[in-house]
Amino acid sequence: MNDQNTLTLITALGAPVLVFIGGLISWFLKTQKEELKAIEDRALEKRIETYNKILNPFITLFAAKENQKMKDKALDEITSVDYRKAGFNLITFGSDEMVNAYNEMMQGFYSGESSDNPNQTMKKFANFLLSIRKDVYNKNTKLKDWDMLRFMITDIDTIIKTIP
């Protein structure tokens, strides 16, 4: 066999082999990307589910106004085992910023700050909501912490002026 025939044979066999190898590599990379996307989607669903469990009693507290029975139910929920489990999930699956905001808010509740300085407690809750938004939807949001509560507090500008 001469060099010309050898080169033709290598070219004839090499092109399909290279196409096959390229296809395998593309398939592998696509599969890996899809698996990572599925894992990220499941983690996002878990975070959203956890955030909903954590936020539910606070939403009830804000909605209850003068209804002491609803407030008591929300406070019972916060001290429940299920709520503590959700808290552990939150610490496990949440971003660092969100975990810090949650810890800061909860420490305010534990120290009695919600009775002594409810506006500061609301600010911490607003910061917690903002950190959830950043964690789940938009890390580069232009919203500020108080923007997260503006829709449900009529005199929010007055409250904001009282916070140093």
Return the pLDDT at 47.
87
- Vertex 15: Cα angle to 13 and 21 (nearest 5): 105
Two structure tokens written together for 8: 């033709």
Segments of the chain scoring below 70 in pLDDT: 1
pTM exceeds 0.75 for this model:
no
pLDDT tens-digit map of 43-64: 888 888 999 999 999 888 877 7
Query: Is 70 in contact with 63 (CB distance < 8 Å)?
Result: yes
Give me the half-sphere count of Cα atoms (radius 13 Å) on the Cβ side of residue 128. Answer: 22
